[in-house]
Amino acid sequence: MKNEGRVTSALKRMIAWVSSNATGCRYCQAHAIRAAERYGAEQEQLDHIWEYSTHAAFSEAERVALDFSLAASQLPNAVDDALKQRLYNHWNEGEIVEMLGVISLFGYLNRWNDSMGTSIENGAVESGEHYLGKHGWNKGKHL
């Protein structure tokens, strides 16, 4: 999750948020958006994360990375040749593998925390309510 290249720590946390949103884990949604805030995501991106595919705060490279997260997190997997081509237009293979590592990590965390109903911490609740609540986010089973 460290920033050692173009896939920034902030982008990795937004990738985690999209993955967590796709799988429905409210615990990981809140923690990922809080981490994106802490690791330098721009305020405008945080405020418009739900509109990443159309909002001007996101570059085309960021959009395709987040589209990749959404497609790779779905069952069945929705990564297709067109999406792969878009990825390779903006990212190299190592960067794509790095993104997939984040998606895979959150695949595990989403299933674990949602299945266990992990109790959610106050700071994450605050970030979830602030950035995600306007679109219906709540703690759900993560009391």
What is the distance between the alpha carbons of residues 130 and 12, in angstroms, rounded to a whole number? 20
Quote the pTM value. 0.95
- Asked if residue 99 belongs to a domain, the reply is yes
pLDDT tens for 47-104 read 999 999 999 999 999 999 999 999 999 999 999 999 999 999 999 999 999 999 999 9
Count the Cβ atoms, other than its own, within 10 Å of residue 90.
16
Does a structural domain hold residue 18? yes
Domain with 109 in it: what CATH number?
1.20.1290.10
Tell me the pLDDT tens digit for each residue of 2-14.
Answer: 888 899 999 999 9
Q: Do residues 55 and 48 make contact, with C-beta atoms less than 8 angstroms apart?
A: yes
Residue 3 lies in a domain: no
Which residue segment(s) compose the domain that 46 sits in? Answer: 9-135
**What letter represents residue 131's amino acid?**
Y
Q: Is residue 94 in some structural domain?
A: yes
Two tokens, residue 71: 């497609």
Residues 6+ apart with CB under 8 A from 136: none
CA 58, CA 62: separation in Å to the nearest integer? 6
75-89 pLDDT, tens digit per residue, is 999 999 999 999 999
Give the integer Cα–Cα distance in Å for 31 and 33: 6
Mean of the pLDDT values across residues 112-131?
96
H or E element at residue 105: helix 93-116
Q: Could you tell me what percent of the chain has a pLDDT over 70?
A: 100
Q: What is the identity of the amino acid at 65?
A: A
Residue 1 falls within a domain, yes or no?
Answer: no
Alpha carbon distance 60, 9 (integer Å) = 18
Give me the residue label for tokens 């937004």.
14
Q: Tokens for 139?
A: 């703690």
Give the pLDDT of residue 57: 98
